[in-house]
Structure 1
């Protein structure tokens, strides 16, 4: 009887632990599905806005100025009578372009600097990292603000400003990964076999160093959109008929007490997209990090 009770206790504990893990896994999967759905929807808004937006973003409905959210206008209308949902849908194009383009430029530039610094070492490493340290002493938003203010108002200048501000982080993480990889046994074996440094770098060091950079770039998309929106909010965005999300926030802040929906829904669009990208980036980090996946 005692052995049967012990066996049933062990079975209960094992199944209870499995049930808890299943619940956690199911909850995580639901959040990931929701995050992927948000990203896909906003990406569709940027690619085919005319199929999603019910109105033209430049159409001014003079009989519906500053109307609260309703069945006809789910996000309400602004001070020109424009449907805010339609403006947010069309404005996603510039916001997402800033996020993805700046990550691409900043990731490539920072990754190249970090790879060269970590693999070459010596005075090249010292010079590049001291310059990188100088950039890291300046907060990213202030550096982007200074660059965008100096270059002037244009979409390209905002992308360049956000990209330059993100370079130090990418360079640091790439350098540390390169230095960790190049001291491993299989690299030393390739050197002993007579492989050239360039061959070792392209075939062994670089492919094994890209995972952290990929994770950081994924999460960096949200950060870049936040930074770009901040620059637009401060008045450095491009003045267009269809503004991006940051410019929408800036234009609606003066009406917050009388028409809260004008700047609330663009802010929610930024929040939802950044949160979704961060969740995908966290899961990607868990999958690519063998220490985390082993837990």
Structure 2
């Protein structure tokens, strides 16, 4: 009788105990938590770029002359700069230019590079040789150096920065798209489509191109972070967008001279760049694992 009561008591206690998680389950939950955090950071940054007036407590051009270079406080969470502007508000408003440079350069580079790679891989022959030799010449030049040269030659503006950063990413997209197109073009269902009389370009638009876009999409997602870094680097060097409200790279450049006396002026824009690039890379890694069956099996 006592053993039965003890067994029932132990069973009741066990109901309230959480089951132990295996190491693989812990890794899965940990990775999912990081993905949620990364997506939340990206969503917040996007909201800052779309509607900064909802986030920023002050105008980015409002100057508090009695609070010049004040450290972070309750009133000014990121402190104030050498003009007395609220650094948090300036960082929020500056996110628009940084995000636009990253997104637009990735879209432009992906479209141009993807088109070159798809045509080169599908048509082949002389066109493939000419396009790939041109791409290889571009690949011999470091990306940031190519972007710096183009931006310096064309002058500081949003359009020129996007062109410069996009040009540096074209070779990578072209190589990936060419390899994927050649791989898809050799599949059995492509041969079957040819055997039933489907036109060459009909096969390209219906079968080859749609099935080749997944790696390009993943690469573009991962490339957003690199493009934001490249755009910020050009702005840091004085080749960015010349506006009243500077982007993050320009904020870093403006605050570097005050690093020893007002560290917060360039620290928080740098943290914003770091957080956004890290969040984009985590999201890109997750998207790669989700779209690539080989990654799932590994």
Whether the TM-score (by the shorter chain) exceeds 0.5 is yes
> Shift of residue 142 of structure 1?
0.4
Cα distance in 2, alignment partners of residues 267 and 194 from structure 1: 57
> Shift of residue 227 of structure 1?
0.2
Q: Which of 220, 238, 241 in structure 2 is aligned with 1:238?
A: 241
Question: Which residue of structure 1 aligns with residue 166 of structure 2?
Answer: 163
Report whether the alignment pairs 1:146 with 2:145.
no
Unmatched 5+ stretches in structure 2: 1-18
Report whether the alignment pairs 1:125 with 2:119.
no
Cα distance in 2, alignment partners of residues 29 and 289 from structure 1: 17
> Shift of residue 22 of structure 1?
1.4
Question: Which residue of structure 2 aligns with residue 66 of structure 1?
Answer: 69
Report whether the alignment pairs 1:182 with 2:185.
yes
Alignment of 1:17-166 (within 5 A): 19-166=22-169
Report whether the alignment pairs 1:197 with 2:209.
no
Over residues 16-60 of structure 1, what are the superposed CA-to-partner deviations in whole Å (9 max), with x where a residue is unaligned?
7x6212111110111011101100000000001001000100001
Over residues 190-215 of structure 1, what are the superposed CA-to-partner deviations in whole Å (9 max), with x where a residue is unaligned?
11111111010011101110000000
Cα distance in 2, alignment partners of residues 19 and 133 from structure 1: 48
Deviating 4+ runs (over 3 angstroms): none
Question: Which residue of structure 2 aligns with residue 277 of structure 1?
Answer: 280
Equivalent pairs, count: 280
Over residues 193-241 of structure 1, what are the superposed CA-to-partner deviations in whole Å (9 max), with x where a residue is unaligned?
1111101001110111000000000011111000000000001012211
> Shift of residue 118 of structure 1?
0.3
Unmatched 5+ stretches in structure 1: 1-14
Question: Which residue of structure 2 aligns with residue 228 of structure 1?
Answer: 231
Cα distance in 1, alignment partners of residues 243 and 184 from structure 2: 47
Question: Which residue of structure 1 aligns with residue 264 of structure 2?
Answer: 261
Cα distance in 1, alignment partners of residues 242 and 83 from structure 2: 16
TM-score by length of 1: 0.93
3-state SS of 2:238 partner: helix
Cα distance in 1, alignment partners of residues 203 and 90 from structure 2: 51
Question: Which residue of structure 1 aligns with residue 251 of structure 2?
Answer: 248
> Shift of residue 292 of structure 1?
1.1
Over residues 87-107 of structure 1, what are the superposed CA-to-partner deviations in whole Å (9 max), with x where a residue is unaligned?
000000000000000001000
Over residues 106-126 of structure 1, what are the superposed CA-to-partner deviations in whole Å (9 max), with x where a residue is unaligned?
000000000000000000000
Question: Which residue of structure 1 aligns with residue 215 of structure 2?
Answer: 212
Over residues 68-104 of structure 1, what are the superposed CA-to-partner deviations in whole Å (9 max), with x where a residue is unaligned?
1111111110000000000000000000000000001
3-state SS of 1:287 partner: helix
Cα RMSD of the aligned pairs, angstroms, is: 1.0
